[in-house]
Amino acid sequence: MSPANEPSFRESVDLMFNRAVAIMDLPPGLEEKIRVCNATYTVRFGVRLRGQIHTFTGYRSVHSEHMEPVKGGIRFATAVNQDEVEALAALMTYKCALVETPFGGSKGGLCIDPREWDEHELELITRRFAYELVKRDLIHPAQNVPAPDMGTGEREMAWIADQFARMNTTDINSRACVTGKPLNAGGIAGRVEATGRGVQYALREFFRHPEDVKKANLSGSLDGKRVIVQGLGNVGYHAAKFLQQEDGAIVTGIIERDGALFNPDGLDVEAVHAWLAKHGGVAGFPDATHTAEGAAVLEEDCDILIPAALEAVITLDNAARIKAPLIIEAANGPVTAGADEVLRKKGTIIIPDMYANAGGVTVSYFEWVKNLSHIRFGRMQRRQEEARHQLVVDELERLDRYLGDAWTLRPEFKDKYLRGADELELVRSGLDDTMRTAYQSMREVWHDRDDVDDLRVAAYLVAIDRVAASYRAKGL
């Protein structure tokens, strides 16, 4: 149980927003306009399943329409409620502004435990929910573009896209009504892993700045850093896997629903993920200690803590005991406003959610652009790029023959250089660039302003400034 003075998730987002606007020079009316959620649509619909009618409750919130379409995932979870959806929609507004994806903020949710229903039943429920939203333009390529979130994935997005297409048979852009679709239904390479990949790119960028690393009382690179991850869902799994396999990080702890695994020498993320898929939990995994009280492992000694599951997992209750000097918020809102204050006082560096998990919406943006342009990225340029590179390689080979033993062209150079970029490489390059640029814009504020001493306020300042500029340009 959280202490009584613990703010709710929505209050936390508002408190963090208020902390930022207090040091900005916005006209009071504009401040209020940006903070409030524009609209929330609640729908209750019935679906006949297992011989009886079941009623479901769903939401779609639109936080800010300073840019359209508005964007944000649809979550399937029993804890979904209006306050949560509105807080998540607000975070989408700031997230999109921070990473410069040209969208307003939105979010949706359906109160459901997806594990209670089989695939066919889930399809009926998802299609019916989509129908209600499409009917009101709350799913629309130019107005509101959902994406996966907790409890949803490619499969649900494909159903939503198909439902929209059935209701808009002559709309040539119908595929752009939702992102996170499977490749064969208009998706883009690299979307599934995008949020986890973004977390990796965010950490790589952080470690490119030794002064920032020092602020977290750390040094060196990601290599050998001890990481604890909470939640081995889509985001946590990909982030932990990439950090382990590509950056040399040691994943010492993995926290899941049924407790946590810990091994100071490192856990094999891929093996734990396979175990989880097979057994439905992490308990029993060999080569690790299992603690039934998973949350306790958040407090273990480590270099980087990655909460990648739910909101409000670091609270007034446990914040003082968190040992990690660096926290990267892969989930939305994992640290409450109260805990944030405790951690800031302790000197913990927090890479905030609106930046840390923005990889998903960034690649969603690429997918939306791909759908509107009706062509795969790289399809026109790839072979032409290869042909031009071939010219250089031909010349180098001529030199190679001429110089004899004195110099030779390395075969790996030739292979790497000759290959034109495919869609996946372009998506990764676009994502990497986005994560670097956004970090630098936050960092500039963090370092340059005396009244800003954490990355979260810096992120809010950059984002709110951009949203305000958009409203001003509209004459508001």
| In the complex, minimum distance from the CB of residue 226 to ligand GLU, in angstroms, rounded to a whole number | 27
Active site positions, annotated = 107
One DSSP character per residue, 208-221 reads T-HHHHHHTT--S-
Q: Which residue is nearest to ligand GLU (CB)?
A: 73
Distance of CA 22 to the CA centre of its chain: 27
**CA neighbor of 359 nearest in space, from 205, 253, 223, 465:** 205
The answer to whether the beta carbons of residues 147 and 96 sit under 8 Å apart is: no
Given the rule CB under 6 A, which of 6-14, 25-33, 354-362, 392-400 is the region that contacts ligand GLU?
Answer: 354-362
How far apart are alpha carbons 109 and 275 in whole angstroms?
Answer: 29
Given the rule CB under 6 A, which of 50-58, 277-285, 360-368, 376-384 is the region that contacts ligand GLU?
Answer: 360-368
| In the complex, minimum distance from the CB of residue 290 to ligand GLU, in angstroms, rounded to a whole number | 30
| In the complex, minimum distance from the CB of residue 207 to ligand GLU, in angstroms, rounded to a whole number | 23
Locate 54 and state its tokens. 């079941």
Which one of residues 188, 360, 434, 470 is an interface residue with ligand GLU (CB under 6 A)? 360
Burial 135-166 (b: 16+ CB within 10 A, else e): eeebbbbebbbbbbbbbbbbbbbbbbbbbbbe
Contact code string over 70-99 relative to ligand GLU, x by CB under 6 A:
-xxx--------------------------
Nearest-Å Rg of the Cα atoms of the chain is 23
Closer Cβ to ligand GLU, 179 or 371, answer by number: 179
Q: Is 361 in the site for ligand GLU (CB under 6 A)?
A: yes
Q: Is 156 in the site for ligand GLU (CB under 6 A)?
A: no
Which one of residues 84, 149, 340, 423 is an interface residue with ligand GLU (CB under 6 A)? 149
Given the rule CB under 6 A, which of 223-231, 267-275, 322-330, 359-367 is the region that contacts ligand GLU?
Answer: 359-367
Contact code string over 99-138 relative to ligand GLU, x by CB under 6 A:
----------------------------------------
CA distances from residue 289 to 259, 261, 265 in whole angstroms, order as listed:
10, 6, 12
| In the complex, minimum distance from the CB of residue 352 to ligand GLU, in angstroms, rounded to a whole number | 13
Please return the burial class of 386, using the count of CB atoms within 10 Å of its CB with bins 0-12, 13-18 and 19+: middle
Locate 148 and state its tokens. 């996966």
Closer Cβ to ligand GLU, 181 or 273, answer by number: 181
Q: Is 147 in the site for ligand GLU (CB under 6 A)?
A: yes
Given the rule CB under 6 A, which of 67-75, 127-135, 249-257, 370-378 is the region that contacts ligand GLU?
Answer: 67-75
Which one of residues 93, 364, 434, 441 is an interface residue with ligand GLU (CB under 6 A)? 364
Q: Is 339 in the site for ligand GLU (CB under 6 A)?
A: no
One DSSP character per residue, 60-85 reads EEEEE-SSSSEEEEEEEETT--HHHH
How far apart are alpha carbons 111 and 58 in whole angstroms?
Answer: 6
Locate 365 and state its tokens. 């943006």
| In the complex, minimum distance from the CB of residue 191 to ligand GLU, in angstroms, rounded to a whole number | 8
Given the rule CB under 6 A, which of 66-74, 309-317, 378-386, 456-464 is the region that contacts ligand GLU?
Answer: 66-74
| In the complex, minimum distance from the CB of residue 84 to ligand GLU, in angstroms, rounded to a whole number | 12
Residue whose token pair is 């995932």: 73
Residue whose token pair is 């057994």: 279
Residue 254's beta-bridge partner residues? 229, 261
Residues near ligand GLU, by CB under 6 A: 71-73, 147, 149, 179, 332, 357, 360-361, 364
